[in-house]
Structure 1
């Protein structure tokens, strides 16, 4: 924990040096969220038995995990590698998982605070209260761990900081489409919706939404938690095998 706190303080100081970081991490996801509200208004949610309040909570959580956490942490890992920071940290007593988790802890904190704050605001706006808070907490935890592992796996494929934008594009554009973030699976054909349950962020989105709707049974929640853990293990395995701790020559 001492090492984690030290890495968090360092990253927080570096983050505050560039004020433009606040524009990307704080305002861009919020603008996307507002735009998605208008898109979902055209989907006839009532026809499919969907409550817009819980749906907007899960949409917000998914957007923030991708933009505030995944893309930011991917860029962080690559930048610190190119600056030889990761290589120097490994020469000390800090373990590899602590280096990665400590470096990402600042963005994890920002994403969690954003999600909790927006969920509270949306709950008041739509007059809904959490019915399964444990499911929402599990969804938030699994989503954060999944996105961090996915960021490490993506960073392993990036040669330079400039290549991060290209490497993260598939997740930024495709993942929200197939995980029920932009388009609820209920409005899709049943077979397609069932297949998209296997998408990486689908279990997280379902768990968070169920935190407000209470639609998942204990078995359903366990299945989705197991899927999220499986995806996390896959990305963690890729990162463990392919992650580079110093610049490529």
Structure 2
């Protein structure tokens, strides 16, 4: 679907039209669809069923399951698939042609984020629904995990745009995506917990560590890595402790936006 194929009504909504076209292209790619459903839904649920086979899931198991969902969805669906799509569109000359139409630059850049965001939302509903249907304790503050997922979608979409400026083609995305993948993996609560104190403090400022912290505070009422024996924070206190991870997401979003503004390429020859 191109802007020239749109009706007058859809031409007034270029972002919606572009997002629909991106979704249709995404849906036709069997590799992206399998990766976008199997990883964020299948792996967390396998972990959940293995860890909770002796009874109802604990709050900690619920947190670990949702954290794994977020990692798979944000890294492999939102970030990597968007990076691959943008790089492919640029190589085919699509981005350059779209700029001659009615869509603004930010609309063209935002549209590829929509398919991943939709799959992430669906995966979240499915996994969280199963977690609490199996009897996991109610979350202390359900607002924070929602902020974690939404904030993660924004940050990793911007990181995909920024990374595309250093990515020659879809194949090289496997290499250029590695730094963000590695930095994000370090932010897993299970990894941060075993790092030396100095490195753990640095790891807490990585983008996925912020997502993990918000999920942990919201689901268990405790910071990521804190033992289950420690008392959980109440609803209001979790908001106070969420300021640092929210600030971390804000900093990464600003850095990625700045890199996108200066490094994003619309044409392989530019």
What are the residue-to-residue correspondences of 1:1-249 with 2, within 5 Å? 2-33=13-44, 51-125=60-134, 127-172=136-181, 174-180=182-188, 183-215=190-222, 217-248=238-269
Q: CA deviation at 1:18?
A: 2.8
Q: Which moved more, 1:199-208 or 1:231-240?
A: 199-208
Q: Which moved more, 1:239-248 or 1:193-202?
A: 193-202
Q: Aligned partners of 1:56 and 1:64: how far apart in 2?
A: 12
Higher RCO structure (Cα 8 Å, ≥6 apart): 1
Contact kept in structure 2, 1:29 and 1:64, CA below 8 Å: yes
Structure 1 residue ranges without an equivalent (≥5): 42-48
SS in structure 1 opposite 2:34? helix
Give the alignment's Cα RMSD to 1 decimal: 2.6
Q: Which moved more, 1:53-62 or 1:224-233?
A: 53-62
What TM-score, normalized to structure 1?
A: 0.86
Between Structure 1 and Structure 2, the one with more helix by share is 1
Structure 2 residue ranges without an equivalent (≥5): 1-11, 53-57, 223-236
- Tell which structure's C-alpha radius of gyration is larger: 2
Q: Aligned partners of 1:178 and 1:195: how far apart in 2?
A: 10
> Structure 1 residues 184 and 50 mapped into 2: Cα distance closer, same or farther (>3 Å)?
farther
SS in structure 2 opposite 1:60? helix
SS in structure 1 opposite 2:168? coil
Q: Which moved more, 1:131-140 or 1:78-87?
A: 131-140
Q: CA deviation at 1:161?
A: 1.5
What TM-score, normalized to structure 2?
A: 0.79
> Structure 1 residues 169 and 235 mapped into 2: Cα distance closer, same or farther (>3 Å)?
same
SS in structure 2 opposite 1:145? helix
